[in-house]
Amino acid sequence: MEVELIAHTPNPEETIEKAARICYDSKVGTQERREKFLRGLVKSGHTATIEHVSATFMIKGVSRALTHELVRHRLMSFCQRSQRYCNEDGFQLVVPPSIKNNDELYGEWTKLMDRISTLYRTMIDERHNIPKEDARYILPNACFTQICVTANFREWRHFLELRLDKRAQWEIRNLAHIILVKLNELAPSIFGDLSETYLDGPF
Ligand SMILES: Cc1cc2nc3c(=O)[nH]c(=O)nc-3n(C[C@H](O)[C@H](O)[C@H](O)COP(=O)(O)OP(=O)(O)OC[C@H]3O[C@@H](n4cnc5c(N)ncnc54)[C@H](O)[C@@H]3O)c2cc1C
């Protein structure tokens, strides 16, 4: 998968500090004071303060199975490659390791995917002219897709807490891991606690 941080609120930690200090009538301070203050906000659960900043990721080469889970996060904003409008002829696939490593089943899986690919191409050709929005009904969950996601930091933290947990599905967990690395580089005082728990954890 490819995950790129394409935009974010400028100076996110400074912005959160400025907003949150209003609550306490306290003054913006040194970098050290800022870090301590921001970590304290997160620890205490005063997380409305981190809604003031957001980050946007461009995500490519993940499966439709993953994005079906991702779009359940209702406070995020999305644009996704449409299977109604885009030609999926020659689609690429995410292969779960459990299938790829199974010599008996992987061959069968590949044959079925090839058959789906051929039938999709036949359906949308000039002779049959099935609309792409109908031909897509045979496409597998494994199909590559592209999605652009924007969320504020409170929602990113919520997403990360749910999707980094070992009960989360492996592909979205991998995505969450990459997103945490990037958000932690951007705002370590906001995502540092999650990094300490999950980036050094048993991945
Ligand atoms: C391990 C795991 C297994 C899962 N299994 C299933 C499954 O089997 N079937 C299934 O359908 N889903 C499943 N899900 C998806 C899950 O039910 C949620 O839809 C998804 O995780 C989004 O979480 P959320 O609603 O907390 O987040 P968001 O939609 O991002 O919302 C963030 C927070 O905003 C608040 N919020 C948002 N909308 C409302 C609202 N309408 N009313 C009140 N508060 C609101 C809540 O506090 C919520 O936690 C699973 C998720 C995980 C992590």
Instruction: Check whether 17 has a pLDDT greater than 60.
Output: yes
| pLDDT confidence tier of residue 191, bands split at 50, 70 and 90 | very high
**Closest-lying ligand 1 atom to the alpha carbon of residue 74:** 29
CA 197-59-94 angle, 5° bins = 90
Mean pLDDT computed over every residue of the chain: 96
Q: Mind listing the pLDDT tens digit for each residue in 134-161? A: 999 999 999 999 999 999 999 999 999 9
| Residues 153 and 55 sit within 8 Å (Cβ to Cβ) | yes
Buried (b) or exposed (e) across 40-60, using 16+ Cβ within 10 A?
Answer: ebbeeeebebbebbbbebebe
| pLDDT confidence tier of residue 183, bands split at 50, 70 and 90 | very high
Q: Mind listing the pLDDT tens digit for each residue in 58-85? A: 999 999 999 999 999 999 999 999 999 9
Q: Mind listing the pLDDT tens digit for each residue in 105-120? A: 999 999 999 999 999 9
Q: What integer pLDDT is reported at residue 21 of this predicted model?
A: 96
Which positions ≥6 away from 183 have C-beta within 8 Å? 5, 55, 153, 156, 160, 190, 191
| pLDDT confidence tier of residue 99, bands split at 50, 70 and 90 | very high
Which amino acids are annotated catalytic? Answer: 163
Nearest Cα residue to atom 17 of ligand 1: 72
Instruction: Check whether 201 has a pLDDT greater than 60.
Output: no
Please state the pTM of the whole predicted model.
Answer: 0.95
Is residue 51 in contact with ligand 1, taking CB distance under 6 Å?
no
Q: What integer pLDDT is reported at residue 199 of this predicted model?
A: 85
Q: What integer pLDDT is reported at residue 20 of this predicted model?
A: 96
Q: What integer pLDDT is reported at residue 203 of this predicted model?
A: 43
How far is the centre of ligand 1, averaged over its atoms, from the C-alpha of 167 (Å)?
Answer: 14
Instruction: Check whether 172 has a pLDDT greater than 70.
Output: yes
Query: What average pLDDT does the segment 125-141 reach?
Result: 98
